[in-house]
Structure 1
Amino acid sequence: MAALAWLLIPFMAAIGAALWGSWAARNPGRNDGPELAGYARFRAAMEKAHGETAEADSGLPAEATAADAPKQEPQPSDGPAPAVR
């Protein structure tokens, strides 16, 4: 009887692995529409030229230019930015 009890451990592990495998292989693209649309808008915004958006969206008067802005000192960093997937 003890041998059968020990055989339950790999049997339960196999069932757990099969359940996890079926969950991991599911189709993750079912509900990604809004997220992908937001990512497309983000990419479009990042691809715009900086000169176009800075003058149009800055809210500064037309006579204020980037040359008038004070220089910012570089700030220490905690390391590289995390990768975005």
Structure 2
Amino acid sequence: MASLAWLLIPLFAAIGAAIWGSWAARDRTQGDISELAGYARFREAMDRSDRSESRAPAARATAHSGSDAV
């Protein structure tokens, strides 16, 4: 009976390896597509905020130029 237990250990390990291998090789491209689209929207939003901030300091400088002489 003990020899049967020692033979079952590699059998269970092989079954576990087959299950893990099929799980690791699954197709995961569906999630990547949505993540890449989200990243593209993030970059567009950051580009828009950079453009609006680059105009803002010039507007602030002209608005505050007369108040510094107080």
Q: TM-score, normalised by structure 1?
A: 0.54
Structure 1 residue 7: Cα displacement: 1.1
User: If you compute each CA radius of gyration, which structure gives the higher value, 1 or 2?
Assistant: 2
Where does structure 2 lack aligned partners over 5 or more consecutive residues?
65-70
Distance in 2, matches of 1:31 and 1:63, equals 43
> Percent identity among equivalent residues?
57
Matched, 1:24 2:24: yes
Consecutive unaligned residues of structure 1, counting only runs of 5 or more, are 69-85
Aligned Cα RMSD in Å? Answer: 2.9
Quote the Cα distance in structure 2 between the aligned partners of 1:21 and 1:34: 25
Q: Runs ≥4 in structure 1, deviation > 3 angstroms?
A: none
Deviation per CA, 1:11-68: give whole Å up to 9, x if none: 101100110000000000124433221111123344x383x13156x6x9x7314xx7
Which structure is richer in relative contact order (CA contacts within 8 A, separation 6 or more)? 1
Aligned length: 61
